[in-house]
Structures are given as C-alpha cells and as structure tokens.
Structure 1
Amino acid sequence: MKTLLELLQKGGGWRPSLYLKIANPPYMELVIEATDESGPCGLPCVSVAHYGEQNGDPMRDPEMCFELGFAGGPHLDPFYWRNDYVGIEQWSRDTREGRYIYVAHLHQQHESFAKQWDINLREQHFLEAFTGQCILG
C-alpha cells in the first residue's frame, strides 16, 4: 500500500476533510477521501475509488475502504470492496450490533486485490500525476 500512503502524504495526510481527486488520462479518475464513519476497529477510514460514468451517474470501479492505522508505522487495512458495474459489494471486516465480524478468506482476497491495485497505481504513474490542484478538501 506504499503508493496510496505516498499519495496521502502528498495530499497533506489524513484529516476529516480529506478529498483528493487525481486525473491521469487515459485512466479513470482516482478519488481518495476520508469517510464520515470510522472503520470496524474504530480507526480512521479512507475510501479509494476509480470513478467512471454510466447514464450520467458516477460509477465506482472499484471502491475500497481501508482503516488507517499507525501502530508499527502507517498502514492501510482493507475491509470493504465495491464495483458498481457488476453490482458487487463486500465487507470482509465489519461491526454489527456491537460485534466485530471478520471473514478471513474474503479479507485475504481484499488484501491481495489492494496490493495489486497499489502496484497498478504506481505503474500507471498516479504519483507523478498528483499536483496541488488534486487537493480539494
């Protein structure tokens, strides 16, 4: 998750008003933002999404939500994955009715996907595409 952490750092770090929007044609825009709610372990939550459009509606392709932790150094731990084009929404970690839920095999899939996505973002030069104009919040 090195690329995403570097993008967060370039954007001034996590804060409740965090909103970064990185245009990098020919790729879909990348949006990194703080959410209003904490993650399943009570840590700050960061949403990362590529956005496309269908019939005038914004479409996530994909969106992942991560808890941002600092113990042992900054790190991102995924817990949510969504793709609007295929109508899939998955929670690998959640809190329901005060109970922590962990779906091990799905969390491993989310971690694997996130690692590959992070590599792709680096290879697609999203770090180089980042400018001060990408900071919107």
Structure 2
Amino acid sequence: MKRLSSNSTRVFCVLMDSLVDSYLKIENKPYMPLSMEFIGTAQLKPYGLAMLYSLCHYYKQNGDLMQDPEMCFAVVDNRERSNDYTAVYVVPYMYQQANLGIYQESIQIEDSCFFSSFDERQQAEHAAFADTWLDNIEQQGFLLGLQERTPDSTL
C-alpha cells in the first residue's frame, strides 16, 4: 500500500493532533471549511490497529453538505515522540467528490473491523491526490494557529 509522503504525513498529523472530542473544523476564508473527524478503527495488516479519519472540504447546496472532496485515511501511529512523523503510517482508502457523483474505495473493509483487499493502482492514485491536497492545505494557511508538537510534548 502507498503511504503519504513525509511532508503530507506531517501536515496530516498536525491536523489529527488538533482534534477536540474527535473532531476539528477550520474556517479559512476564502476557502471552503476543512473538517477532520475520527470515524473508527480497523486492523491494517501487517501494521496493526489503524485509527480511521475523514478529511473533508465541504459546501452547502440546497441545504445539503457537499464533499469537495472527502478522503478517508487509516493511520497507524507508533510515535514515541509526538513529532516523530516517520513512525506514523498514513494510508488513504476512500475518495469522494459529491458534485461529480464520484465515490471510490481503494481498500475494502470487511465486517467493519479489518482491511481485506485493495486496488493497488487506485490506492496509489488516492495517495498521490492526498499528497497534493495536503500540500495545498498547508500552503493555503489551514495550519495557522494549530500547534505542531514540540519534541518533549506528550501524545
């Protein structure tokens, strides 16, 4: 499985570490709001128990929230120090673009508890898109005000 680049992993971890009660919403005009949410767990062999997160830009259309886009990620976090991002394994497994009717799962989750199979090509495409998207999120200022943890801070 293709994991995120080192910079994208760092950006993802800064967002993930900023969750409050399993949720984060960042308003950053003129861009669409960015939301991150903890959505569950699943076994990601051979890496271990993965925490599952949704990351989404959205807008309202006729009263409905439209994902533009939404991606879901599996995260195995083996950090001993909070800023050791090399110990975090982040894998995208779902992509959704509501206004185009696109919904893609590149990794299948069986019985809501373990990853059973994956489409290698599509999952690599999801990882490439996520790398670009997370770079854009950082460049557009969504991390401003969020604190990157220092080497001696705890998880």
Once the two structures are TM-superposed, the CA of residue 74 in structure 1 deviates from its matched residue by 1.7
Deviates further, 107-116 or 63-72: 63-72
- Gaps in structure 1 of 5+ consecutive residues: 132-137
Identity value in percent: 30
Q: What SS does the aligned partner of 1:125 have?
A: coil
Tell me how far apart the structure 1 counterparts of residues 13 and 59 of structure 2 sit (CA, whole Å): 23
2:92 aligned with 1:85, yes or no? Answer: no
Q: Distance in 2 between matches of 1:129 and 1:56?
A: 30
Matched positions, count: 126
Within the alignment, does 1:127 sit opposite 2:130 as a pair?
no
1:6 aligns with 2:14: yes
Among residues 48, 60, 72, which one is paired with 2:67 in the alignment?
60
Amino acid at match of 1:24: N
Aligned partners of 1:110 and 1:94: how far apart in 2? 14
Where does residue 126 of structure 2 map in the other structure?
110
Q: Once the two structures are superposed, what CA deviation does each residue of 1:78-122 show, in whole Å capped at 9, x if it has no partner?
A: 000001110110011113467711101100100000000011001
Residue-by-residue CA offset, 1:5-42 (whole Å, 9 max, x unaligned): 11222336xxxx4100000000000000001x324625
TM-score (norm 1): 0.82
Q: Which moved more, 1:73-82 or 1:98-107?
A: 98-107
Once superposed, what is the RMSD of the aligned Cα atoms? Answer: 2.1
What are structure 2's unaligned runs of at least 5 residues? Answer: 1-7, 79-85, 148-155
Compute the TM-score of the two structures, normalised by the length of structure 2. Answer: 0.73
Task: Find the aligned partners of 1:64 and 1:99 in 2 and give their Cα distance.
Answer: 16
